[in-house]
Amino acid sequence: MTQSNKNPSGEHISPLAVELSDISKAFGTVRANEKVNLAVKQGHIHGIIGENGAGKSTLVSILYGFYRADSGRISIDGNLVNIGSSAAAIANGIGMVHQHFMLVPNFTVLENIMLGHEGYAQLDKAAIHARAELQTLSDTYGLAVDPDSLIEDLPVGLQQRVEILKALFRGARILILDEPTGVLTPQETDQLFEILNALRDQGVTILFITHKLREIMAITDTVSVMRQGQMVAHLDTASVTPATLAELMVGRKVLLDVNHTAATPGDILLTANHLSCAGDSGETQLDDVSFTLRSGEIIGIAGVSGNGQSELLDILAGIRPPQSGSFTFAGQQIDAAHPLGPASLRDLGIAHVPEDRHRRGIVLNFSAAESMLLGHSENRGDHRDAHIANNRSDHDLGDSWWLDPQKLAAHCATRMQAFDVRPPDPDYISANFSGGNQQKLVLAREISTEPSLLLVGQPTRGVDIGAIEFIHQQLIELRNRGCCILLVSVELEEIMSLSDRILVMNNGSIVGEVARADADERTLGMMMAGIAPDNAPDTNPASKTGQPS
Ligand SMILES: Nc1ncnc2c1ncn2[C@@H]1O[C@H](COP(=O)(O)OP(=O)(O)OP(=O)(O)O)[C@@H](O)[C@H]1O
């Protein structure tokens, strides 16, 4: 239960669980944290927001012992502590749920919970203890999960639950969550919030990093705003509005709604005919998917992650061939017998912002300039068609630009400036950019090819609110220049605000199409869950579904 003291007026006050004082940390010339102060009361949920690269992850990584601060002090429960490693953080009751889960996929939940937890002489006794403890934690915090399930069989939301359980099992009373909802469905986010509320009720202190202001408003008690390595505000959430927070973060007013204008779709650009594919163990991933895309429109694909959207993007990007069915683009039919790889499709005018930027968007140990070169590095002579010669903004670099480091750096610097990538240094190693800046790097590269079709997966995952405004505007302008954009996003709000048409996927199939004007969260949510909106007790008459065109 939450302990509390009384202040001189006799009011109950919560003691400070975390107090960071004058924390500074530099990476070379980049001052990631500069004299940062943060005080979080016990049993509170405290949000930390800030632009990409503001220093949020660095700060919590220092608290979790992943980085050592250059200077500053950390107090936990009023005691000055020295946190030189994650083991020391755990010993001080601090747990962290990372953006990329740290679980062994082919181990069970129980095995993952026990992993690295030493001190038991006999493994079977330890397992009995862990199972009982897990049950207690599940009951106390509403964290139900089957201890014998393999991690790889669990949906993302449950995997995250295991991460939370793992931290609690190690005695965490302070829990750090770094952008925990980026990979969750809206339903999973709701469930996470219920769990966080239960944890708070039991006195657990939570530090919650997010870019989503609605989450700050929904779940936090207090919030701190970082900008360029410094803390610029500490506020009670109840006293602020999302617009004020956005302005504090970015230092200017931010347009929270997309400035969407009506599309003027042109000719058919791509036709997908009965596309299907299966996974390694034969399970259907994409099931008889057909649709057409026209130039000058944004088509959103709404769906719970794992319902075929990623496979669809992979096929259209040439990363894998369809097993059956075909698609036609720029006069070429692509099917299992006539596959085209990513380079050839790129030459035909398809650009791709992959969902997983770390695995497919950049090479982590490349410099920014080298990551900016990806997909442009082959001089394919006569395979380079008129599209490239006419449209690409990089043709001014000449045929051998990829061999000329100075031209490459200049090209990269221009793109970085246009997309406000920070730091704007072409030599900076890709891994060392903050997540949102890595995303901007990929978008800058792909949009600069002036594609006729842009495949884009999760364009604003981990991106700050000012950059989202910018990216959305870039996508709309690209559409207005005649590009067709196929947008996959777990953010239903993003799908609804950007798309001219929405295709809904469930279980590998397109289960319906909704026009922009008819799209609402409830209708789409039901279709995504495989329920026909007509069967809902309170059907929205404005919504309609239909067969894919
Ligand atoms: N290991 C590192 N080496 C060099 N620079 C780094 C390293 N880690 C972070 N940085 C830099 O420190 C700054 C702060 O990064 P940090 O990841 O803390 O930002 P953030 O606020 O969490 O951003 P985002 O919202 O994009 O995740 C950035 O400029 C980043 O490029």
Q: Are 313 and 499 in contact (CB under 8 A)?
A: no
Kindly state whether residues 243 and 317 are assigned to the same domain. no
How high is the pLDDT of residue 377? 63
Kindly state whether residues 93 and 242 are assigned to the same domain. yes
Tell me the torsion sign for CA atoms 364, 370, 375, 378. Answer: negative
ipTM: 0.98
**Which residue is closest in CA terms to ligand 1's atom 17?**
434
CATH number assigned to the domain comprising residue 184: 3.40.50.300
**Which residue is closest in CA terms to ligand 1's atom 31?**
433
What's the total number of domains in the chain?
2
Kindly state whether residues 288 and 157 are assigned to the same domain. no
Kindly state whether residues 158 and 302 are assigned to the same domain. no
- What range does the domain containing 230 cover? 16-250
Chain segment 417-434, per-residue pLDDT in tens: 999 898 999 999 999 998
Distance 227 CA to ligand 1 centre (A): 12
Which atom of ligand 1 lies closest to the CA of 436? 26
Kindly state whether residues 150 and 293 are assigned to the same domain. no
Q: Work out the angle at residue 345's Cα, subtended by the Cα atoms of residues 302 and 271, and round it to the nearest 5 degrees.
A: 50
Residue 538 has pLDDT above 60, yes or no: no
Kindly state whether residues 227 and 279 are assigned to the same domain. no
How high is the pLDDT of residue 119? 55
Kindly state whether residues 236 and 303 are assigned to the same domain. no
Q: What is the mean pLDDT of the chain?
A: 86
Q: Which residues contact 301 (CB under 8 A, 6 or more apart)?
A: 309, 312, 486, 487, 488, 489, 495, 502, 503, 504, 505
Place of tokens 């990476």: 27
Tokens coding 118: 């030493």
147 Cβ inside 6 Å of ligand 1: no
> CA of 76: how far to CAs of 20, 116, 199, in Å?
9, 24, 18
Of the three residues 203, 219, 250, the one that is the final residue of a domain is 250
Chain segment 457-487, per-residue pLDDT in tens: 999 888 888 888 889 999 999 999 999 999 9
Distance 540 CA to ligand 1 centre (A): 44
Q: Are 341 and 318 in contact (CB under 8 A)?
A: yes
Inside any domain, residue 150? yes
Inside any domain, residue 386? no
How high is the pLDDT of residue 99? 75
Inside any domain, residue 257? no
Reported as a pLDDT band with limits 50, 70 and 90, residue 268 is very high
Kindly state whether residues 349 and 428 are assigned to the same domain. yes
Pocket perturbation via mutation, ligand 1, pick of 57, 100, 176, 443 by most ligand atoms within 8 A of CB: 57
**90-99, 119-128, 298-307 — which is least confidently predicted?**
119-128
Residue 400 has pLDDT above 60, yes or no: no
Place of tokens 């394919």: 380
Of the three residues 189, 221, 250, the one that is the final residue of a domain is 250
For residues 83 and 64, what is the distance between their CA atoms, to the nearest angstrom?
7
Inside any domain, residue 537? no
Kindly state whether residues 192 and 333 are assigned to the same domain. no
For residues 295 and 307, what is the distance between their CA atoms, to the nearest angstrom?
26
Kindly state whether residues 125 and 189 are assigned to the same domain. yes
What does the pLDDT average to over 249-269? 82
Reported for 277-285, long-range contacts at CB under 8 A and 24+ positions apart, including other chains, are: 277/311, 277/315, 277/320, 277/322, 277/323, 277/324, 278/323, 284/507, 284/508, 285/311, 285/508
Kindly state whether residues 313 and 440 are assigned to the same domain. yes
Of the three residues 250, 284, 316, the one that is the final residue of a domain is 250
Residue 380 has pLDDT above 70, yes or no: no
Kindly state whether residues 167 and 26 are assigned to the same domain. yes
Distance 58 CA to ligand 1 centre (A): 6
Tokens coding 234: 């500490």
Percent above pLDDT 70 for the chain: 87
Q: Are 46 and 40 in contact (CB under 8 A)?
A: yes
Residue 386 has pLDDT above 50, yes or no: no
Inside any domain, residue 329? yes
Inside any domain, residue 130? yes
Inside any domain, residue 542? no
Residue 385 has pLDDT above 80, yes or no: no
Inside any domain, residue 507? yes
Place of tokens 């080298």: 370
Pocket perturbation via mutation, ligand 1, pick of 25, 51, 432, 441 by most ligand atoms within 8 A of CB: 432
